[in-house]
Amino acid sequence: MINRTYRTTALALLACALLLAGAPASPVDAQAPPPARPEQKVSADAPPAIPIAEVARRADEVGAFLRSLDEQLPASPQMKRIEQELPPLSERLADRFEQTQQTIGSRRALGTLDALMDFWRSSRGGLSAWLATVTERADWLEQQRAELAKLTATWARTRTEVRSAKAPPELSQRIMDVMAALVGAQARVEAERAATLVLQDRVARELTRIDGVLAQIAQARRQAAGGLLVRDSPPIWRVQIPPPGSRPPIGITLATVAATVRGFVEEHSDRIALHLAGLLTLVVLLWWARSRARQLPAPAGSATSPAIALDQPVAAALVLGMLAAFWIYAEEPRTARLIVEIGVFPRWC
């Protein structure tokens, strides 16, 4: 009885296995897609191609853009001036750098250090203005470089689309001409960009050297100010006469001040010329005003003429011109300011 039951169960299991083996695949498995092939994705940043009907108009726009670019591409007179004046300025700064190192090492007085500080600050102001000009030029060239790269990519894709559309050969030739013009403009912009970046680096190097010198002078001033109440030299009745051929300390100080003023004159020669022209113009105007005032009658009850206020036109012009120096010159040395104050004070007394 038990064997018959086992036999019946085995036959049932075998029948179920045969039914499952012969059953069709499930709909989900039958509709499962094959593994997808990797497809090349088109970059979303790729510029769109120009429609064939707009190729001629867009080519004219590119030509106008390139002509405008060629007009603005040559260096401006200010850029040429910076490029010409930077080498001699670098030589002068190198000489002054050595002198400054010697002065700092010899522990000179605060007045000498202040004169050095004024010179280097004035030089830094001029170089900072140069760096701003060169940086503005470099930024503009970078913008034009990016615009040309964008146009080149657009016209390259347009060339591919036109070839696929089997457009007339004249249209293909027009596209090739535009691309050739863009490549030439890119080469010119790259050359100007390289020269501008080199000039920018040279100016930045000079500024870095000046910043280092200013930091050294500031440290030397702090040390000198800290020792104001400490005797660092013998009393005047024990001062030794310097040996023949050596420069006394006062000579070194005067040489430093003279070099500072000379450097200021060299760096601000254009403003000094403008200042002198203004002085001459002011003298002429005050002289003419005095001659006109002398023709006016004296006021009733007064024995003096109004022309007495203009009796010294040259002195008045010098006073006004020296007072205007504080607005004409930026970051002038203390020595130059002192000269102006000395020249103005006696005329007001």
Residue 41 lies in a domain: no
Q: Mean pLDDT check: name the lowest of 61-75, 144-158, 215-229, 235-249.
A: 235-249
> Which of 192, 190, 184, 150 minimizes the C-alpha distance to 66?
184
* pLDDT value of position 223: 81
Residue 189 lies in a domain: yes
Q: Mean pLDDT check: name the lowest of 46-55, 98-107, 326-335.
A: 326-335
d(CA 113, CA 103): 8
Question: Residues 145, 193: contact at Cβ < 8 Å?
Answer: yes
Residue 223 lies in a domain: yes
* pLDDT value of position 144: 96
Burial readout 163-190 (b: 16 or more C-beta within 10 A, e: otherwise): eeeeeeeebeebbeebbebbeebbebbe
Q: Decide if pLDDT at 176 tops 50.
A: yes
Residue 206 lies in a domain: yes
What is the overall mean pLDDT for the chain? Answer: 76
Q: Mean pLDDT check: name the lowest of 161-175, 190-204, 277-291.
A: 277-291
* pLDDT value of position 117: 86
Residue 107 lies in a domain: yes
Sign of the CA dihedral running 259, 260, 262, 263: positive
Residue 184 lies in a domain: yes
Q: What is the mean pLDDT of residues 273-285?
A: 82
Question: Residues 181, 62: contact at Cβ < 8 Å?
Answer: yes
Q: What is the mean pLDDT of residues 54-58?
A: 92
Residues in the chain, how many? 349
* pLDDT value of position 123: 87
Determine the 3-state secondary structure of 304 from DSSP: coil
First vs last Cα of the chain: how many Å apart?
A: 147
Strands (E), 159-243: none
d(CA 120, CA 216): 11
* pLDDT value of position 39: 39
Q: Output 116 or 69, whichever has higher pLDDT.
A: 69
CA separation, residue 276 to residues 50, 62, 272, 283, 317 (Å):
61, 50, 6, 11, 11
* pLDDT value of position 349: 47
Q: What is the mean pLDDT of residues 2-13?
A: 49
Q: Please tell me the pTM assigned to this model.
A: 0.61
Residue 329 lies in a domain: no
Q: Output 340 or 30, whichever has higher pLDDT.
A: 340
Residue 40 lies in a domain: no
Domain holding 179, by residue range, is 52-228
Q: How many domains does the chain have?
A: 1
Q: Output 49 or 204, whichever has higher pLDDT.
A: 204
